[in-house]
Amino acid sequence: MALDLDYFRKQLEEEKTRLEGELSTIAHRNPDAPEDWTVSQPDMNVMPAAKEEVADVEEELENAASVEYNLESRLRDINEVLEKMRQGKYGVCAVGGELIDEARLRANPAAITCVKHAK
């Protein structure tokens, strides 16, 4: 049975919008590379008075960087899968070339391999 591509496209587009929304709260797009995001720096006009505050700011930045990394890599996966869809290759395992189980795609519309070839 053929996959309901409209359903999956909608799922992917919705997640993409959500990820971009989350990213835009902690990061900004690189003007030269629209798919590359950079964590926004805190306002440095406010100089932290004590060492502990500097540590807080650093910790906050580190957290933001790891959240940003996860969001951005998920967003990349989604863009990649949307591109595959445009090429008519959605739902094909990137490793073995076999069709990916529909239940797997419903659980994760951005899956690019079958269960057997998942890392």
Q: Which of 39, 71, 93, 110 binds Zn ion (CB under 5 A)?
A: 93
Report how far residue 119's alpha carbon sits from residue 113's, in angstroms, rounded to the nearest whole number: 9
Q: Is 111 in the site for Zn ion (CB under 5 A)?
A: no
Q: Is 75 in the site for Zn ion (CB under 5 A)?
A: no
Residue 10 or 116 having the CB closest to Zn ion: 116
Name the CA radius of gyration of the chain, rounded: 19
**How many of the chain's residues bind Zn ion (CB under 5 A)?**
5
In the chain, beta strands by DSSP E: 27-30, 33-39
Q: Is 89 in the site for Zn ion (CB under 5 A)?
A: no
Report how far residue 68's alpha carbon sits from residue 38's, in angstroms, rounded to the nearest whole number: 8
Q: Is 112 in the site for Zn ion (CB under 5 A)?
A: no
